[in-house]
Amino acid sequence: MFHKAIIFSLGMLTLAGCNAQKKAKAPEPGAGTTTNTKATKPSKEEIIYFNLGENKFLTKYEMNVTFKGISEDSRCPEGVNCIWAGVAVAQVEVMGTYSRPMVLELATTENAGRNYHQSEVYNGYTISLQEVTPFPKSEGGVKALEGKYRIGIKLTKEGPETSGSTRK
- Looking at the domain assignment, is residue 27 inside a domain? no
Q: Is the pTM of this model over 0.75?
A: no
* Residue 40 is assigned to a structural domain of this protein: no
* Domain with 128 in it: 47-157
pLDDT digits (tens, 9 = 90+) for 88-99: 999 999 999 888
H-helix or E-strand spanning residue 17: helix 2-24
Q: Is residue 18, in this structure, part of any structural domain at all?
A: no
Structural domain contains residue 53: yes
Is residue 19 included in any domain, yes or no?
A: no
Residue 152 domain flag: yes
User: Does residue 4 form part of some domain?
Assistant: no
* Confidence grade of residue 87 (pLDDT, cut at 50, 70, 90): very high
Tens of pLDDT, residue by residue over 107-139, are 999 988 888 999 999 989 999 999 988 887 777
Q: Is 22 helix (H, G, I), strand (E, B) or coil?
A: helix
Domains in the chain: how many in total?
A: 1
- Burial per residue of 57-88, b for 16 or more beta-carbon CB atoms within 10 angstroms, e otherwise: ebeebebebbbbebebbebeeeeeeeeeebbb
In a domain, 5, yes or no: no
Question: Helix, strand, or coil here: 152?
Answer: strand
pLDDT band at 105 (very low <50, low <70, confident <90, very high): very high
